[in-house]
Amino acid sequence: MSSPSRNLVVDVGNSGTKAAAFTDGEMMLPVARVKSGDWSAIDGMVTNLGVQNIIYSTVANVPSQRWTDKWKKAGLGVYSLDRTLPLPFQSDYQTMDTLGQDRIAVVAGTVGRMHTARLIVDAGSCVTSDLVDRNDRYLGGNISPGVTMRLRSMHEHTARLPLIETGTATDLVGRSTGQALLHGGQLGVVYEIEGLFGRLLTVHRDLQLVLTGGDAPLLLPYFSIDVLSYPNLVLLGLNQILSTYVNKHV
Ligand SMILES: Nc1ncnc2c1ncn2[C@@H]1O[C@H](COP(=O)(O)OP(=O)(O)O)[C@@H](O)[C@H]1O
Ligand SMILES: CC(C)(COP(=O)(O)O)[C@@H](O)C(=O)NCCC(=O)O
Ligand SMILES: [K+]
């Protein structure tokens, strides 16, 4: 019997690096979260989890050659989500070279899993909203500030607004400064997404909202529309791209 194929999949975001192993396509939980730039922690996973391939997407730092050489020497296939790997979708984005690798991964992560148009929202440091039609064509998307960024910037760019933590919003409007900030900063993201979704729905009648990212659990309770929640869609998409490539070429 052949030994299981195991990949290490790494998503370097602006708030943190998320990593998980996949054995024969199944994600091994829990997902590890380390500081962005801590490639030594990723190297520890490579050693401890006995992986054959590693893929990373990054919107921040990349591993130095010291790490990639070490992994190659140990016999791993080392892949980054750059132009060398074939993507499972066509795209209308005019600047594919600068399109965030995390955005590419979430779009890929829905291919084969969904057969309707979808708006994929990744709520992290920034909120990205990416539109894919029912034929898996990527039509484009938007970037706006994430929840933490909104709360922090209101504090940093005013004289009187405190820095508040994210939390539970109890009403549609706030009755204190803290609530007003929370409702504007956190629920405001939900209203923004619902507004865009409603406009797009007039063209894409089968549109489905997909939600992922570190702040997805904070936002999920407040939607008035149906939401498909994929907690680790960047990682799923990366593993899909890697597995397809490795099965064909290696
Ligand atoms: N363990 C955690 N460490 C840091 N942020 C977390 C954690 N769990 C949830 N979060 C939330 O996730 C958000 C970042 O989401 P994430 O998808 O990781 O962002 P990015 O892809 O930009 O790194 C933070 O703003 C924070 O509110
Ligand atoms: C928009 C982003 C900052 C989101 O990153 P994140 O919030 O997940 O850390 C990232 O996808 C990025 O740097 N994009 C480059 C520009 C583009 O996508 O066109
Ligand atoms: K994001």
Task: Note the CATH number of domain 6-80.
Answer: 3.30.420.40
- Between the CA of 1 and the centroid of ligand 3 the distance, in Å, is 40
Gap between the terminal Cα atoms of the chain = 19
Q: Which of 43, 69, 92, 102 is catalytic?
A: 102
At residue 250, the pLDDT reads 79
- Residue ranges in the chain modelled with pLDDT below 50: 1
- What residue spans define the domains of the chain? 6-80, 115-231
At residue 249, the pLDDT reads 86
> Quick one: which ligand is closest to 145's CA?
2
206 a catalytic residue: no
How many whole angstroms separate alpha carbon 171 and alpha carbon 179?
9
Contact at 8 Å (CB) between 134 and 206?
yes
At residue 2, the pLDDT reads 53
At residue 1, the pLDDT reads 44
Q: Which CATH number fits domain 115-231: 3.40.50.800, 3.30.70.1020, 3.40.30.10, 3.30.420.40?
A: 3.30.420.40
* Ligand 1 pocket test target in 9, 11, 12, 15 with most atoms within 8 Å of CB: 15
Q: Which amino acid is at 213?
A: G
At residue 33, the pLDDT reads 98
Tell me whether the CATH fold assigned to 6-80 matches the one assigned to 115-231.
yes
Backbone phi and psi for residue 143, each to the nearest 5 degrees, phi listed first:
-125, 130
